[in-house]
Structure 1
Amino acid sequence: ATGGTHVTLVLSGRYHISFEEAEVMKQDYSNHNEIFPVVKPVFEKMASIVNKYIHDQKIKGIYLCGGTCCLTGIEEIFEKKTGIKTIKPENPFLVTPVGIAMNCVE
């Protein structure tokens, strides 16, 4: 499995900083241009995993959600790797908790 934790671990190793510091670095939009080349292989791996599971299906679009999707440029990697239109909501971090909340039953 790969995702946000994997991205943070890659940054931690590359910059020789703690996991916590790498997490802060990842979340700071002003760092995205600098860290993009470092984490691009992780995004490519994530996209290849998605592609493995959807390759024989007629998918019209991929919608990204979760905190890792806040990273600038991730949608372009997914679209290039899968060949499928990829959409990132304005705030993909909130998609997951909002969806869970909308489906809660009393």
Structure 2
Amino acid sequence: MPKDGVANWVMGNHDRSRIATRYPGRADQMTMLAMILPGIAVTYNGEEIAMEDKTDITWEETQDPQACNAGKEHFKEHSRDPNRTPFQWDTTANAGFSTAKKTWIPVNSNYKKLN
């Protein structure tokens, strides 16, 4: 790191599985670690409430171009959609994220207990 540089701690982002999925039961600890390290902590949308990947997104629901380009047989290996689901605001329809009938990427089914 450059002499006058500042560390930038990024635990999660839209290209990787969520912290709560990668470190089951340790999401809060990982967030605390980022907060006490010297530098700047970056929190990806949903990490602050320990949102988890939605691992049951089907081929028909897939939006990620990377996954679509991989084809129906291999899309799950390449999809970033599981960690790009709508923010789980509350227990209402679509987790309070949208009043639309359906969201672009489906809401995780655990939104009623995790919001």
Tell me the TM-score normalized by structure 1.
0.28
Tell me the TM-score normalized by structure 2.
0.27
Question: Whose radius of gyration is greater, 1 or 2?
Answer: 2
Structure number with higher helix proportion: 1
